[in-house]
Amino acid sequence: MKTRCFLLLFASTALLFACKTTRVINSTDLTITGNYCAPAAAFTNNQDTIPLKNTDSLIKANPDLPVHEVLMANATGTLFLIRRMKEISGDTTLEGMMRRSELRSKIQHRLLLATMEIAGIAAELDCEGEKADQLAKYLDNFNSKRNTRLTVASIITGALTTIATVAIKEDGPQNAVAIGGGLLSAGLGALTINAAGKKIRFAHFRNVLSDIWYLPDTSAIYPPFTWYVLNEKHFSNSGQISLAANVKKRWERFDLEGSVSTSDKQLFFGDGGVYKADDLHTRAAMVNELQSTIRSVNQDLQRLLHYLVSIE
């Protein structure tokens, strides 16, 4: 009987190790690479459409134009064209009408490019968010199954321990089995409460979050139009802090919950590393928040279009 009890305990121990999963998965093993969301070709920028950064000088030089429209026209490379259109708005001759039509066409072309740029960046961010969320769900499902196995093993261990203690009449072996079984059952239960679960190695060398966190003067990820709008404080509702800085503050407060360690900076804003499921959910949330902010720039473009209609 004593031998049988030890066999039962050994079986429980085997279940414990069978449920233990500490191997780190590589995202490449799941055919999910770090680059498929990136544009197939790099953005090419026309020097005529790169925004000027001397915001105060632009506002002073255009006192007859609304501040918001001056800055959005500067962002889209249409400020000079709008000024020319405004200057000839009263010309009713055929030549004047043709000139306005030509200017209108150029302005609409550049605004279309800006709209498509926003759509392209939003699509990349949407892809990045879905990628992180997909990996997070994969780990969630895996870890959920793991916890189920641990729970079943804990129940079986508890039941077998109870049976063994009833069957054994001698106090010494009975106490040993009871203590051993109790410890195994408690250990299995503790693993279901605080289980690290599987992790995944996820690299993102083109990190869409990095420039928003570090706020460099120029961005290697975002084209000049988008980067200018994200960093010009006049485009925010308060006018005191830029859209990019505001996104970063929300990340710090709601997603990262305060201070950010060096390892977390490398994980979220560097080239990647080993992610837990919760980390991937956090990354997906940050990407989605950034995507929403960039999509909102369409409202600023719409406002500029309304102004153009008013001066025709």
Q: List pLDDT tens digits, range 199-222.
A: 999 999 999 999 999 999 999 999
What is the distance between the alpha carbons of residues 43 and 220, in angstroms, rounded to a whole number?
10
Contacts 24+ apart (CB under 8 A), 108-114: 110/49, 110/76, 110/77, 110/78, 110/81, 111/76, 111/78, 111/301, 111/304, 111/305, 113/49, 113/76, 114/75, 114/76, 114/225, 114/301
pLDDT digits (tens, 9 = 90+) for 17-62: 444 545 688 766 665 665 889 998 777 777 778 899 899 999 999 9
**pTM of the predicted protein model:** 0.81
pLDDT digits (tens, 9 = 90+) for 256-288: 988 899 999 999 999 999 999 999 999 999 999
Task: Supply the Cα-derived Rg of the chain in whole angstroms.
Answer: 30
Q: Are 55 and 71 in contact (CB under 8 A)?
A: yes
pLDDT at position 73: 97
Q: Looking at the predicted structure, is the pLDDT value of residue 3 above 60?
A: no
pLDDT at 149: 57
Q: How many other C-beta atoms lie within 10 A of the C-beta of residue 149? A: 16
